Amino acid sequence: MDRMAEQIAASDGRLHPATEPFARHMIDVGDDHTLYVEQCGNPEGLPVIVLHGGPGGGCSPFMRRFFDPEFYHIVLFDQRGCGRSRPTASVEANTTQHLIADIELIRDRLCIDRWLLFGGSWGATLALAYAEAHPGHVRGLILRGVFLGMQTELDWFYGGGAGRFFPDLWQRFCDPIPQSEQGDLIAAYHRRLFSDDRGRQGRFALPWLMWENALAGLQTSPASHAPPEYARAFARLENHYFSNRCFFEEGQLLKNRHRIEHLPAVIVQGRYDMVCPPLSAWKLADGWEKCDLRLVPASGHALSEPRITMELVRVMDGLRDGE
């Protein structure tokens, strides 16, 4: 779960200067998927991989700026089916397990032994799943807006829980679906997003995307449009993953937390996050001695919210400075 970066708040004053990649790659990972991967900052620096949200959100230049480019070796990539990876909007051979394998392939291809994982929303989910599968290659985790891929979280966002706070926006999300199908909106949207009519896919992609975008920022007006191909890829991929409960057993990430409890972690969580409420971050951190949960006041979900941005930069600069 996440939205388009850079559209919620102007956070430039809190970020590191813009930087361009020193290398770009298109990596064939098999299954007819090719991933866009970029490397920024210091090639000899402390490695960190950025895991974007969605599923289907893609990475952006904005995400490079949370890291001191003189200290960090910053790796970003577009997950299967989105951004500059190809084919666009494809859900074939596209599961959490495939993405974990892709991250390992990237790590091996770039000759990185151990790295930090930096991810928010779905990116936090993927960071946890990867770390639990390959703890020996992880230095630590920096997570934002924790989403654990659990049914209770999906019920909150697509079953009317969040709609109690935003009844007008919830109604707008429900309106395209006949009343008889509104008992399971994920399934109802799935039938339309995966119809044979590409135009129909696009018509239902926008309300899917806009519902999430509208709730991502605490003090922002919701956008009313998005690039059609971005909306289509985002909606199809996210719906595909949520239709399959993110390819997890229920509660899997919490059950397997013991595999990573020796690793340090920081969670930056908006106190008023309506997309991924703080309860999931609280459950994840509870009893994890090396996990530092930072509940950020007057903040919602988005990476670009000013206080969220400032706290994440503070975390990364603190790691640089040995704090």
Q: Predicted confidence band at 13 (pLDDT cuts at 50, 70, 90)?
A: low
Look at residue 11 in the predicted model and tell me its pLDDT: 52
Which position among 85, 90, 121, 304 bears the catalytic label? 121
Q: What is the mean pLDDT of residues 154-163?
A: 98
List 16, 273, 299, 304, catalytic entry? 273
| pLDDT confidence bin for 6, thresholds 50/70/90 | very low
Superfamily of domain 12-150+248-320: Alpha/Beta hydrolase fold, catalytic domain (3.40.50.1820)
Q: Is residue 313 within a helix (H) or strand (E), and if so which, with residue range?
A: helix 306-320
| Contact criterion met (CB below 8 Å) for 85 and 76 | no
To the query of whether residue 90 is one of the catalytic residues in this protein, the response is no
User: Tell me: the pLDDT tens digits for 189-247?
Assistant: 999 999 999 999 999 999 999 999 999 988 665 555 788 999 999 999 999 999 999 99
What are the φ/ψ torsions at residue 125 (nearest 5 degrees)?
-55, -50
Q: How far from chain centre, in Å, is Cα 254?
A: 18
Decide if 282 contacts 293 (C-beta within 8 A).
Answer: yes
Question: Which pLDDT belongs to residue 10?
Answer: 45
User: What is the radius of gyration, based on Cα positions, of the chain?
Assistant: 18
Domain assignments of the chain as residue spans, ordered by start: 12-150+248-320, 152-245
Is 121 catalytic? The answer is yes
Contacts of residues 171-174 at CB distance under 8 Å and 24 or more positions apart, as own/partner, are: 172/207, 172/210, 172/211, 173/207, 173/208, 173/210, 173/211
pLDDT in tens, 278-297: 999 999 999 999 999 999 99
Output DSSP code: residue 161: T
